[in-house]
Amino acid sequence: MSKPFSVLMVCMGNICRSPMAERLLRLRLADRLGPAAADLVVVHGAGTGGWHEGEPMHHQAADEVLARGGDPAGFQARALTAAMLVDPSVPVTAEVAELADEVPGSDLVLTATIEQVAFVAELVPDAAPRTFVLGEFARLAAAVDPATLPPGGADAASLGARGRALVAAAHQRRDGNRYSDEVPDPWGRAPEYFTAVADQIDEAVTVLADRLADG
């Protein structure tokens, strides 16, 4: 049985930016792929630090997800582990799979900042080609001609092949310009700031959802 394409969202504490990215990507994928989206693409998240492990999403972040039609229910913050970053196409031991909460690795890792890209690369060097700042990936993926990718489909194998090809194409287009692609931390800021950050995140994950769904 083919594994679903997996996307890992990473920020600092896993209670504001990466949870919004996780739940908004799930929403946009469901808009495009229908009820089967959750079986075709696994979207999960983690923080580079474990200060908030087990906590729910920040209430302002949850409000932004709800305002866009998403669902913040059941979220619990996690700390990033190496098991979450391994290449899913490489067989792993049962122990590693268990450590990754039954999501052995990630086909695509999207971070809020450049610093977090470096953190991922230091933790698992092989993950570097699959790791991007969120806005960076959206910008690069938007430049990929959908016709150059394998066709998507209603099965995990087809969509996984398309997703991995998209990641490879985006990697080939890297230009080193990442600073304007970062997602600022809204922690402790006014509700309007959270809204602006959520808008930025939603726009970026929509590009990914469109490309995965043949758009």
User: Which pair of structure tokens corresponds to residue 92?
Assistant: 């792993």
Q: What pTM, to 2 d.p., does this model score?
A: 0.93
Return the closest-CA partner of residue 92 out of 56, 82, 185.
82
What pLDDT score was predicted for residue 154? 84
The DSSP code sequence of 156-212 is: HHHHHHHHHHHHHHHHHT--S--GGG-----TT--HHHHHHHHHHHHHHHHHHHHHH
What pLDDT score was predicted for residue 152?
Answer: 83
What contacts 159, CB < 8 A, 6 or more positions away?
Answer: 4, 5, 33, 40, 41, 152, 153, 212
Q: What is the DSSP string of 94-159?
A: HHHHHHTTT----SEEEESSHHHHHHHHHH-GGGGGGEEEHHHHHHHHHTS-GGGSPP--SSHHHH
Identify which of 19, 39, 14 has the alpha carbon closest to the alpha carbon of residue 29. 39
| pLDDT value at residue 215 | 57
pLDDT digit string (tens) for the chain, length 215 residues: 578 899 999 999 999 999 999 999 999 999 999 989 999 999 999 999 989 999 999 999 999 999 999 999 999 999 999 989 988 877 655 555 554 445 558 999 999 999 999 999 999 999 999 999 999 999 999 999 999 999 988 899 999 999 999 999 999 999 988 888 999 999 999 999 999 999 999 999 999 999 999 85
Alpha-carbon span 182 to 11, nearest angstrom: 11
Pairing verdict, β 131-133 and 41-47: unpaired
Structural domain boundaries in the chain: 5-210
Burial of 190-201, coded b for 16+ CB within 10 Å and e otherwise, reads eeeebeebbebb
Which pLDDT score, from 0 to 100, does residue 186 have?
A: 96
- Determine contact, residues 13/65, Cβ cutoff 8 Å: no
Given this model, what pLDDT does residue 28 score? 98
Q: What is the CATH number of domain 5-210?
A: 3.40.50.2300
Tokens of 43: 């979207």
